[in-house]
Amino acid sequence: MQKDLKIKLWYLFKVNRKQFIWIYLFLSDLVVLGGVWAYYYNPVLEENASWITKFYFNNDVVFWFVFLLYTIIEALVFWNNFNKEHIKIINKQNAELEQQKEEIAAQKEEISSQRDEAIAQRDKIEDQNKLITSSIHYAERIQQAVLPLKKDLEKSFDNFILFKPRDIVSGDFYWFREAGNVNIIAAADCTGHGVPGAFVSMLGISLLNEIVGVRRIIKSNEILNTLRTEIKKSLHQRGETMEQQDGMDIAIVVIDKVKKKIDFSGANNSLYFCTKNQFEIADNKKVKESIGIAKTKLYEVKPDRMPIGIYTNEKDFNSLEFSFQNGDILYMFSDGYIDQFGGKTRQKFTSKRFKSLIIDNAEKQMHEQKAILIETLKNWQGKNEQIDDILVMGIKLNS
């Protein structure tokens, strides 16, 4: 506090030094004039006046000169001391500023070092990400290679496939195979997405090729029963505690164009069947009807509520058969489209909206239906992230 007071006094004098000098000269003039006046107008002294009074009146000019000299000396001493104190304070402040400057320089150097380290780590992570992404893109090419060729499916059916992986590679997959007089089509949703899901999807495609192509199993429920056995065997699933519950949900249809029959089995995945004709199926409890525009009706053929993989209440899969007419359409899908968040309130698209979307556009060309599905999904999703892999297949039936 004393230091601050000295600094304030110094700056007060420094700023107002001209005023101080004029005041001091004015007072000095008063002293000189007083001495002159006393010299020329010296009153008569009494005989009994003190020696001080006599000395003052007899030597007033000398007295005032000495007083003035003393005042000047005191002022110079004060000024010198004040300057010394001020210089000390300034030097101390300079030392403190220098120390702060050194500390700031050290902090700056440390920050610079940390920044360089952060940049180096960022570059390293970017390089690793590029390497990982490059590997995933290569895996994508492999996955695309093992998926059925769209031209093979187009030879048999007018169709569309909306296939939209969330993370480059997909846990969803579609599968197609001709086996004698029948065509077998599957749409599957494996556990997880991205690389883990893609591994399971590759396993599923490989096993379906073996089951149908090598073992010649073409009954829908037998295909799923065999697929479940092989998946459990490949993933070493024994039903033990804390065991990984990997597997897949799948819908599979076996289409006999000659008999105009469809054989369907599902593991948690439904089948939508759109027709203008009469729909008959043995187990009506497995069917839910939805009425659309014109004469088009949508029938949801329900699956068995168990996955391909380890399951507590495991049973054999059921098979559902029904007839079709030319122009009827099958829709097979994963839950990615239905579960996508979006809209004004950021909610799921829901199966109700999905059914309405399909019924309202079922009479359009297949490529138009795909375009509508893509545009609707884009508008619904908005700026929300895609939460899962998306697969929707439309198969227009003909003999």
Sheet holding 158-164, edge to edge: 158-164, 390-396, 329-333, 271-275, 297-301, 287-291
The per-residue pLDDT for 78 is: 62
3-state secondary structure (DSSP) of residue 2: helix
Task: Indicate the domain borders of the chain.
Answer: 2-113, 148-396
162-179 per-position pLDDT tens digit: 999 999 999 999 999 999
257-267 per-position pLDDT tens digit: 999 999 999 99
pTM: 0.73
Closest CA to 176 of 188, 185, 167: 185
Closest CA to 204 of 267, 250, 164: 250
Task: Tell me how many degrees the CA angle 363-367-373 measures, rounded to the nearest 5.
Answer: 80
Spatial distance between the Cα atoms of 399 and 395, rounded to a whole number of angstroms: 13
Count of other CB atoms within 10 angstroms of residue 179: 13
Amino acid at 165: P
- 284 burial (CB, 10 Å; 0-12 / 13-18 / 19+) is exposed
Tokens at 293, concatenated: 């525009």
Spatial distance between the Cα atoms of 188 and 303, rounded to a whole number of angstroms: 13
Measured between its terminal Cα atoms, the distance across the chain in Å is: 103
The per-residue pLDDT for 15 is: 47
Question: Using an 8 Å Cβ cutoff, are 3 and 89 in contact?
Answer: yes
The per-residue pLDDT for 393 is: 98
Spatial distance between the Cα atoms of 168 and 197, rounded to a whole number of angstroms: 11
Task: Tell me how many degrees the CA angle 358-334-331 measures, rounded to the nearest 5.
Answer: 35
CATH of domain 148-396: 3.60.40.10
Residue ranges, the chain, pLDDT below 50: 15-16
User: What is the helix (H) or strand (E) element at residue 334, kind and residue range?
Assistant: none
The per-residue pLDDT for 203 is: 94
Spatial distance between the Cα atoms of 223 and 216, rounded to a whole number of angstroms: 10
